[in-house]
Chain A
Amino acid sequence: MKEDDNTAEDDNDSESKYDIPLIQRISSILWPSFITAGIANSFFFTFFEPQALLYAAGYSEMSNIAVYSIGFFMFWLLTSSSCVMTSYFMKPCCDVNS
C-alpha cells in the first residue's frame, strides 16, 4: 500500500489535467476484464462440455448454469488480476524512487 500512497500523492502534485478520475481507474480494471472474461467463458464452454469436465475432474454434480457462472468468475478473477498488474506497472518509473 505504501507505493500506492506515493502514486496518489504524486498525482495530486502533478498537473491536474493528467489526473485520472477514480471511477475511470476502477472501470479500466473491472470493465475490460469483465468483457474478456465473458468472451473467454463463452469460447471455453463452447468447446468443452461442462458435465464432461466435471466428470473428468471428479467433482460432484452441478448444474450447467453453476459451472458457467463459476467459470465466468474464475476468468474474471484472472483477467482482472492481469488488469491490476498492468495498471500497476504503468506507473511512471520516476514515481517509484520518490
Chain B
Amino acid sequence: MPKQNSPASDEAVEASLYAKHEKIYPREVHGIFATLRWLAVAVLLGGYYLAAWVNWDGRQILLFDLPERKFHILFWTFWPQDFFYLAVMLIIAALSLFFFTALAGRLWCGYACPQTVWTEVFMWFEYKIEGDRPKQMKLDKMPWNAYKIRTKALKHIIWAIFGLWTGFTFVGYFTPIRELWDSVWSFNTGPWETFWIFFYGFATWGNAGFMREQVCMYMCPYARFQSAMYDKDTMVVSYDEARGEPRGSRKRSEDPLEKGLGSCIDCNICVQVCPTGIDIRNGEQYQCIGCAACIDACDDVMDKMGYEKGLIRYTTMNILEGSESSILRPRIIIYATFLLVLTASLLVAIVNRVPLELDVIRDRNELYSETYDGMIENVYTLKLVNKDQTDHDFRITVTGIENFTMTATKDIVHVASGEVVTMAVRLKADPFSLPSRSVPIDFHMQAVDDETLSTIEDAKFLGPFRK
C-alpha cells in the first residue's frame, strides 16, 4: 500500500523512497560454489516438484491432508493431537540452523533457502532469454520496441508458467495431487484451491523475479540475527585485506610488488556477481547471504592473472588475524549434542508411538445413579481412535474396582484405519465394595489381533459418600 500524498509532494517523496533500490543485474558465475549451489537447487527443487507425486501403499508419502486433518509423512500419520511432534521438529530445525550458522555462516541462505533456490532458477531463465548482465542492462535501457516487448513477454510467460507449476505443487501437498491434477485439466478445482495455486504462483513470481535480495534484506528475520551465532572461528566468505590491499589495476605482466600493489586488481567482478549488490571488500555485511559467488568470480580472475587463488575465500576471523582457528569448539559441540539427542529422541518417540487413542468422557449430567437393585451406575462415553495404517478390532476392559459389571454397546469394536468410533459404556458396582467416593479406574483398549497394540486411559468411578 503506497502512501497517499498530495500531488505536489508526490514526486519528491517517491523519488526519495524509491531511489534507494537500484535493480541489481548479477553477472553469471561459474565455479565450484556455483556448481554446489546448482546441485542444491537440483536436489531441493527436484525433491519439491517430485515428492508430491510419490505414492506409498496407495497414498502420497508427503501429504498434509488439510481436508481430513491428517498429516501423512512417509509411512506415519500424524493427527492434530500429535502437535507435540511437530513442535519438536521445529525446535530441531531451529537448532540445525544455529549449528550450521556457527559452523560456516549463512550456508542456509547461500544454498538451501527457497528464496535463493527459486531466484537461481528465475535468473537462469533470465540469462537464457535476455542474455547476460550487459545485455540485460542494455535491454532495460532501450526504448520499448518489438524486440524488447517480445523478450520481456517471453520471460514473463515462462516465469508465470514456472510460478503456477510451483503453486500447483504447493497445493498438491495439502490436497491429493493426482486428484488436483485431474481437476485442473477439467477446470474443476475448488475455489480455494484455485486461489492458493494462483496466490503461491504469484508469490513465487514476485519474490524470485522481482523482490530477490530485498526479501533477504527487509523480510528475513534470520538475516538480522544470524551474526549473533558467529564467533571468530566461524567460516565466512571474506576478503583477505592484508593480501589484497592496496588494490589497483595493472597489466598481467607487471609485478604488483614493484608497483606497491596487493593482489586485488580492482576489476569489480566480485561486486558484479553479487546477488545483493554489495562489495565484499568492505568487510562483513548483513546483506551478504554467503552464496560465495564472489569467491568463484575472484578465483577465476586470480587464475587469469597467474596469482594464487583465495583472495576471497571461506575463512575465519582468527585465521585472517593470523591466530589459530578450531572447528571443534564448545559452541559447536553443544549445538551438535543437543541436535543429536533431540533428533534421536524424536525418532524413538515416533517409532514407539502407539497408534491408538482412547478418550474417556464421563456423563456430565449426573455423577452417578442408583439402579433398582441398589447398585451404583456410572456412564462413560468412549472415543476410540485408530491411527494405525490397518483396521483393527478392539476389546475394552476396566480395572481398578471389584465386583462390577460392564455393559457396552458392543463387546468387540471394529475401528477402521484412521477412524474414530464413539461408544457408551455403563459400569455397575456394588456400593459396599467401593473403597471411597471416587475410585480411580483404568480403561484398557486392546487390539484383538495384535497384543502389542494397546493403550490405557484413566477415569474415575463415583459413588455415594460412605464411612
Contact = CB atoms under 8 A, between A and B. Distances in A.
Interface of A: 1, 4-5, 8-9, 11-12, 16, 19, 21-29, 31, 46-47, 49, 63-66, 68-69
Interface stretch (B11-19, B147-155, B398-406): B11-19
Nearest to B4: A1
24 contacts: A1-B4, A4-B4, A4-B5, A5-B5, A9-B9, A12-B16, A19-B17, A19-B20, A21-B17, A21-B18, A21-B20, A21-B21, A23-B211, A24-B218, A25-B17, A26-B2, A27-B214, A31-B219, A49-B80, A64-B67, A64-B68, A65-B174, A65-B175, A69-B196
Interface stretch (B31-39, B187-195, B361-369): B187-195
Contacts of B9: 5, 8-9, 12
B13 A26 contact: no
Nearest to A65: B192
B17 A5 contact: no
A55 B195 CA distance: 25
Contact of B16 (A19, A27, A66, A69): A19
Interface size range of chain B in the complex = 20 to 34
Given A21-B21, A47-B80, 14 more contacts: A5-B5, A12-B9, A22-B2, A22-B3, A23-B211, A24-B218, A26-B1, A27-B214, A27-B219, A49-B80, A64-B66, A64-B67, A69-B195, A69-B196
A82 B383 CA distance: 41
A22 B83 CA distance: 39
Interface string B408-438: 0000000000000000000000000000000
Contacts of B3: 4, 8, 22, 25
Top 6 nearest A-B pairs (CB, nearest first) are: A21-B20, A22-B17, A24-B218, A27-B218, A8-B13, A31-B219
B69 interface: yes
B6 interface: yes
A9 B1 CA distance: 18
Contacts of A23: 21, 211, 214, 218
Contacts of B191: 66
Given A22-B2, A28-B218, A65-B67, A12 B192 contact: no
A25 B175 CA distance: 35
A91 B13 CA distance: 17
Contacts of A16: 16
A49 B193 CA distance: 20
Given A9-B13, A24-B218, A64 B69 contact: yes
Contacts of B192: 63, 65-66, 69
A69 to B, nearest CB: 5
Contacts of B214: 23-24, 27
A16 B18 CA distance: 12
Interface in B428-451: none
A25 B16 CA distance: 13
Interface in B1-58: 1-6, 9, 12-14, 16-18, 20-21
Contacts of A29: 1
Given A12-B12, A47-B80, A22 B219 contact: no
Contacts of A5: 5-6, 9
B371 to A, nearest CB: 34
A63 B190 contact: yes
Interface in B202-225: 211, 214, 217-219
Contacts of B5: 4-5, 8
Contacts of A64: 66-69
Nearest to A12: B16
Contacts of B66: 64-65, 68
A69 B197 CA distance: 13
A29 B3 CA distance: 13
Contacts of B14: 22
